[in-house]
Amino acid sequence: MTINKVAIVIHPQNHHASKLAEKVIQYLKEEGKDVVIGRVDEVDFHRNIQQQSHDVLIAMGGDGTMLRAGHISGPQNLPILGINLGRFGFLTEISQDEWKAAFERLFDGDYWIENRMMLDVAHWRDDMLLGEWDALNEGVVSRGDILRPIQLKIHINERHLSTYIADGIIAATPTGSTAYAMAAGGPILAPELRNIVLVPVAPHLSIEQPLVLDQSATVSITTRTEHKATLTIDGQDPIYLNDKDKIVVSVSKHTVDFIRFQDPGYFYRNLIPYMDQNPSIKDMDA
């Protein structure tokens, strides 16, 4: 793939991302590339990506920036290269000191594409579709501000599975299996798999074990609650749910393509060091 048009997306509150972006833009223009830049929360930038043809999206920030960049790039089949300026770096590919060498490899075609599935998450009230989103990590149906569990009626392929009394339930992708789903006791899945992971959160007298479903599965989650419940997509602002609202989860037609320079075994090599040296713990102790 010949790379001529480059889009750069940055976290709006990351000062280091803005400073690095200036250097990257100067380099890319010296290499004869067309460059556009925007913030992950900038509507006009999203519209530009939708309307214009680009060859690659460079995301500067942490894993949260990568998730939101995936929402931008997935529908456009636009590959992402992540430069890590955050803490974890599960999704990003290179450190902020490696970007120039990485771009040289990128322009030479010395990389491979890792394809990751997304979820389609739809919010229904009676027979009305209120909203539909792509999720790269997960969709979470959970209790709202009141510290009281909710009732969640689960169907898989229109067959009743179980009714949970719980704080919530997570429907995650393999990418999301190392995020909230893992913290709630779910399994870790290799990123290239195409499965839906269901993980209950603090179930009371209900099935505790997580489930790994085939990519053809459709999951419906019906809320029964006397107080507000919420739907959260990839950690973004909550969508409030009413009693008897239904969330339908299936594999999205969109995917996210990550540009990789490491060998395909990188995921297993990096997994344990990330857990043994949790960067958030270091941050809190500083």
Token pair 């955050």 is found at 86
User: What tokens appear for 25 in the block?
Assistant: 């833009």
> Which residues are part of the catalytic machinery?
63
How far is the C-alpha of 243 from the C-alpha of 275, rounded, in Å? 38
